[in-house]
Structure 1
Amino acid sequence: MKDFDRENWLGRTQERSDQFSAPLVRRIAATFEVPAPAEGEELPWLWHWCFFDDCAQQSGLGPDGHPTLGTFMPPAHDRNRMWAGSRVSFLNPLHVGASARRLTTIQHIEEKHGRTGSLLFVTLAHEVWEDDLLCVREEQDIVYRQPSPPKTTPGDPVIETQWGESVVPDELLLFRYSALSFNAHRIHYDWPYVTETEGYPGLVVHGPLVATMNLAAFTRANPLARMKHFSFRGVRPLIAPAPIYFAGRHLEHGTAELWASDSNGISQYATIEFD
């Protein structure tokens, strides 16, 4: 496996400007089948993931649909990319129609070895600002793995829950979320590619889509909660159109654990801190 000088990549920064435009917010709301917040109202948490995209040129996409590496992100030498998890702090509300900017720093790079081979972990630190107010701070874990059969073994069994919802993630939902986030990763919409090239049994549900729906399920079950911190980590893929179950339970005061599962067990864990 080729290597690169990690010191040349650590600390690199990138800034993106965007507007939480009402038309795109309406499209997100339509996809999740919820009322759209009006101009000036608070943007639901995690909807910011549909903004600040790279807007990569068509010619700048790799075979998997992701922007070619080696410009801002370090080279990964033909490995498959996954968004493994995030830790998000909600500091101040974001608002529909507001202009914002996101500052990204490559915070950590580490090579690990797992059951599926060599894994390259890249941690990005994001800050989202409205004017001079820091609103969101996030650490995002991106994992690049060597081409190998994906992990499809059963997950941990679901434990006792205090609330729950279910969603059937059909091809239309995956397509629309890819469009909302300008995400051309082919594992979410290209059946021949995802099954023949990457070896999944079907279309893969986006990790951030699962996390967003999981947090929304918590919000509906706990409408008075004021979000402070949210984290999630994926442990196995969710394959469309198998139903996804979102559930959770309260721990100590102001803390809850959430999970997303299919009929074969838990696929994504999450925790939330709230007032």
Structure 2
Amino acid sequence: MDIDIEHLRSWIGNTESDSEILSQTTVRQFAATFDRDWPSAPGDEAPLLIHLCLAQPIAPMSALGRDGHPALGGFLPPVPLPRRMWAGGAFEFHGPIRVGETVTRNSTIKDVTLKQGRTGALCFVTVEHQVASNGRAVLTERQDIVYRDMTPAPKPKAEPVAAAEGGHRKVIDPTPTLLFRYSALTFNGHRIHYDKAFCTGTEGYPGLVVHGPMQATMLCQLAADIGGKSPAKFSFRSLSPLFDNTEMTLNAREDGDALILWTARPGGPIAMEARAEW
């Protein structure tokens, strides 16, 4: 496929902004989805990464593509590759969001690059989000999005190395209900997270795909639990997908004053790796 990278790079500098009040209901729904007991009264400190549920793009049904994503060519460049995934990202926390405050997201396209992978062309789009709460800067986020073709990845010559178990470990059952709830919280229409027939029949996956942002949220919350407070920085990248047909684990180990964290399926390779710093 011929990709006009210079045309796509003309989207660099494109901006988008939106705001939403963090309601008590959203915090309660977020806590229920993660089986947590977080305070939700006005003025309480909000859970980490709840901003991913706020001020998200809203597209009418008529503007959605075959996969449930908004059609390309608006804020994001019109990359002519059918599969879009969250490849990784990083957060710098400047202060807490509080329940009842107005959260504003200012987004900018920072880079668009084209690379060749094992399955063909890979297009990476880097987006920076500046998030404020009642006018206070609360976090800076780098979001890395990757687009690729439908060509399946070639089978590895050897079985992937199984991920180690962390000194801190938690088992999660990524049920369809959990994935549906997180999709609803983030207004994410991507069908790979809730439409099993589309996943297996059209996309060729063995099951529903576990959201990258949800894995990142679980790992960031685990880091805060272990460290006793919110990290100052948290970065992550996706290495392989997880599906709803098996359990997944959250793992962590100390690395000096930082934590190395990862997700995996039992006996499988690292799916997402992350680092938390204080």
Please indicate the TM-score interval, normalised by the length of the shorter structure: over 0.9
Q: Which residue of 1 aligns with 2:173?
A: 168
Q: Which runs of 5+ in 2 are unaligned?
A: none
Provide the C-alpha distance between the structure 2 equivalents of 1:178 and 1:83, rounded to a whole number of angstroms. 14
Q: Which residue of 2 aligns with 1:16?
A: 18
Q: Which residue of 1 aligns with 2:242?
A: 238
Provide the C-alpha distance between the structure 2 equivalents of 1:155 and 1:216, rounded to a whole number of angstroms. 28
Q: Which residue of 2 aligns with 1:89?
A: 92
Structure 1 vs Structure 2: percent identity of aligned residues?
40
Report 1:60-71 matches (<5 A). Answer: 60-71=63-74
Deviation at 1:117, TM superposition (A): 1.1
Pairing 1:48–2:83 present: no
Provide the C-alpha distance between the structure 2 equivalents of 1:245 and 1:46, rounded to a whole number of angstroms. 19
Pairing 1:147–2:150 present: yes
Q: Which residue of 2 aligns with 1:111?
A: 114
Q: Which residue of 2 aligns with 1:194?
A: 199
Q: TM-score, normalised to structure 1's length?
A: 0.94
Query: Alignment partner for residue 224 of structure 2, among 199, 202, 219?
Result: 219
Provide the C-alpha distance between the structure 2 equivalents of 1:215 and 1:65, rounded to a whole number of angstroms. 27
Aligned residues: 272
* Shift in alpha-carbon separation, 1:35–1:9, aligned structure 2, 3 A: same
The RMSD of aligned alpha carbons is 1.6
| SS of the residue 1:135 aligns to | strand
Q: Which residue of 1 aligns with 2:163?
A: 158
| SS of the residue 1:138 aligns to | strand
* Shift in alpha-carbon separation, 1:250–1:72, aligned structure 2, 3 A: same
* Shift in alpha-carbon separation, 1:229–1:269, aligned structure 2, 3 A: same
* Shift in alpha-carbon separation, 1:232–1:152, aligned structure 2, 3 A: farther
Task: For residues 112-166 of structure 1, give each alpha carbon's deviation from its aligned partner in whole angstroms, at most 9, with x where no partner exists.
Answer: 1101210000000000012332111011000000112257865443235221111
Q: Which residue of 1 aligns with 2:8?
A: 6
| SS of the residue 1:24 aligns to | helix
Task: For residues 22-76 of structure 1, give each alpha carbon's deviation from its aligned partner in whole angstroms, at most 9, with x where no partner exists.
Answer: 1111111111111132221111111111111111101111000000001111011
Report 1:117-132 matches (<5 A). Answer: 117-132=120-135
Provide the C-alpha distance between the structure 2 equivalents of 1:217 and 1:78, rounded to a whole number of angstroms. 34
* Shift in alpha-carbon separation, 1:273–1:192, aligned structure 2, 3 A: same
Task: For residues 161-188 of structure 1, give each alpha carbon's deviation from its aligned partner in whole angstroms, at most 9, with x where no partner exists.
Answer: 2211110101100111111111010001
| SS of the residue 1:225 aligns to | coil
| SS of the residue 1:227 aligns to | coil
Pairing 1:267–2:271 present: yes
Q: Which residue of 2 aligns with 1:35?
A: 37
